[in-house]
Amino acid sequence: MWEGLRFLLVVVAIVANVHVIDSQKPQLGGAVNVFSRYGYLSISMRVVPRNDTDTWIFREPTLDVFRNPTAAPPRQQSKSAVFDGDFHMEFCDNIRQLLQAYFRDFTFEQLEKPWRAFTGSWSRSAIARHLGINASFITGEHCYVLVRVARFRESQKLREPVENLVLEEAVAREANNITVGDTVSVIQFIRNFGSHYIASYVTGNSLYQVFVYTPQVYMRIKERLKTRGVAELSSLELSNYFSPWYAEHMGAIQSASGNRSVEAWAIERLRVQYYIFTYASLLKLHGDAALLRQLDALLGNEALLQLQLRTLAPLFKDPKRREWFHEVIDNYVKLWEVNM
């Protein structure tokens, strides 16, 4: 009992010397422990619609481990650009690929499947709700196309090399206490200070829509677009492929932040009349500068769109300690990805 109490007091004393960041957005260079909420990161990072009215983007517990983290110079934006962002579609053979595609811009060093850090806890109904499709299309033989338009509002990247950054004194002291060959010492360090630091991030907002197809129709469209490309297709042909005529199911247009006003605008302004069908489609934005300008004003800085996490290995100046930290992290990641 007393040993446990003494251990707790030591942990509190260590963390007390490190600044805990209280912010509503990611803190560049801040350290996080991806394992403390592995499978549940969508709770603390706004990446999918939520049933709340709060305006936070990022509330994962974060610690200052570097004294002087500075951002790299921002990229120059084109003043003539109608829309500063990204408009793309991804073909997904199954639901696993669809989840992977949604989190394509989230990279966590040492994690082969970073999307699992968000979706590992999602039930079938949760997957359907977050992706805006009927739950009956989550299982069975279905293929998907994810269409997404993202508006970038804030982009930050840590200036490199990270090895030149000065560590907080308490962090440097504990990093030197890591014992090579002792797994427990590494795990304890991760619990106190984190496993990764925020190397870069992009915030803003996006609209996305999932189209569901039978495998036969899906392969036909995929091959067609592979040989000709979207730019070579006529508006009519593109509308055909992404209509109820071809699609088995058309998902709802949703915003990453859950902004109902933006979604209502999309339902109203992106409505398509196709023979006997009337529906909303993100494809109506393709090549329409006027609609993109309207959307540009509506998509604010409300969600996390991209995130790069790198391990805290640079904290260890001793090569053997750094290598041991990486080895333990690697084994820890594999254990989580198998068991979650």
**pLDDT tens-digit series, residues 107-150:** 999 999 999 999 999 999 999 999 999 999 999 999 999 999 99
DSSP letter at 68 equals S
**CA distances (Å), origin 113, targets 6, 110, 149, 263, 286:** 37, 9, 23, 30, 31
Does 18 have pLDDT greater than 60?
no
pLDDT band at 239 (very low <50, low <70, confident <90, very high): confident
Strands (E), the chain: 20-21, 31-32, 62-63, 85-92, 106-108, 143-157, 196-213, 249-250, 254-255, 271-274, 277-280, 303-311
Cβ atoms of 225 and 320 within 8 Å: the answer is no
- Specify whether the CB–CB gap between 324 and 178 falls below 8 A: yes
Domain residues for the domain of 27 are 2-73+84-339
Supply 114's token pair.
């970073």
Residues 104/90, Cβ–Cβ less than 8 Å: yes
Across the chain, what does the average pLDDT equal?
89
- Predicted confidence at residue 20, as pLDDT, reads 53
The mean per-residue pLDDT over the stretch 151-172 comes to 91
Q: Is the pTM of this model over 0.85?
A: yes
Sign of CA dihedral 95, 203, 200, 332: negative
pLDDT tens column, 248-297 = 999 999 999 999 999 999 999 999 987 788 899 999 998 889 999 999 99
285 domain-assigned: yes
Pick the closest to residue 150 from 230, 90, 207 (CA basis): 207
Provide the 8-state DSSP code for 5. H
Q: How far apart are CA 80 and CA 103, in angstroms?
A: 29
pLDDT level of residue 337 (50, 70, 90 thresholds): confident
End-to-end CA distance of the chain: 31
Rounded to an integer, the average pLDDT of 26-43 is 95
Q: Are 118 and 193 in contact (CB under 8 A)?
A: no
How, if at all, do strands 196-213 and 303-311 pair? antiparallel
Task: For residue 23, give both structure tokens.
Answer: 């912010």
79 found inside a domain: no
- Structural domain count of the chain: 1
Separation of alpha carbons 279 and 213, rounded Å = 16
Residue 209 pLDDT more than 60?
yes
Decide if 238 contacts 211 (C-beta within 8 A).
Answer: no
**Residue 288: inside a domain, yes or no?**
yes
Closest by CA position to 30, among listed 196, 254, 178, 226: 196
- Note whether residue 78 is domain-resident: no
Residue 147 lies in a domain: yes
